[in-house]
Amino acid sequence: MRVRARGVEKRFGATVALGGVDLDVAGEVGVLALIGPSGGGKSTLLRVLGGLEVPDAGEVEVDGVRVDYRSEAALLEYRRRNGFLFQSFNLFPHMSALRNITLPLVKVHGLGAGEAEGKARECLARFGLADHADKMPAQLSGGQQQRAAIARAIAPGPGLLFLDEPTSALDPEMTGEVLDLIAELKEGGQEIVLSTHEMGFAREVADEVAFLAEGQIVERRPAADLFGAPEDARLKAFLGRVMRY
């Protein structure tokens, strides 16, 4: 993974979501986890890196290529090369699980109907959903819906997979199910940037972890180092709260 950000700023009205963020990720980093308190900027940074939010200032490079936020066509092409998963499942409620995956493959990525269906069924089978292909989202459990959403995100073969708190809407059992799937994706070589409140998962699966607070990256290190010996007082206080029980 090669991701570089310089001076990235983002405001929403009077609220400073990102206040000049710098980030350099390179080398053997397969999973970068963004952690921190709510409102600290992690989801906004994730969306800026993924091209879903346009920063007010600064620049981003992915794999040595600068993301052109000024050109809608260039931004759309950048988004096509990556995959996204949001806090809510964002499945089309009036379409089957299969159709939820084939539609973007055809409309966005230009695959033929037969190729799209074959790829979609392959992804559903990979995630244990082969028998649920024709079910509507309302007929699936929360964990199954999130697995279908992940299948849709990875079906095109994304360069980077961006996951925004992918377990926030799930109960503990379903959370474990989805986290196991994300770990499996990492083992398969998928590069992932995710924001998460699951500290145990970030510690075990992420190669590097960045702690954001007040719109800044306060500390970023290998996961074992950051969790084992946090340096910044704000990070120590945060981990003391979220890992207390």
Domains along the sequence of the chain with CATH: 1-82+198-245 (3.40.50.300)
Report the distance separating Cα 11 and Cα 57, nearest Å.
10
0.85 exceeded by pTM:
yes
3-state secondary structure of 76: helix
pLDDT at 165: 87
pLDDT at 181: 87
Q: Please, where are the H alpha helices in 28-171?
A: 42-49, 72-80, 97-107, 113-126, 142-154
pLDDT at 170: 77
DSSP 230: -
Q: Which stretches of the chain drop beneath a pLDDT of 70?
A: 88-89, 245
Q: Please list, residue by residue across 171-209, b when 16 or more beta carbons sit within 10 angstroms of its beta carbon and e when fewer do.
A: eeebbebbbebbeebbeeebbbbbbbebbebbbebbbbb
pLDDT at 167: 83
pLDDT at 89: 67
Residue for token pair 């033929």: 112
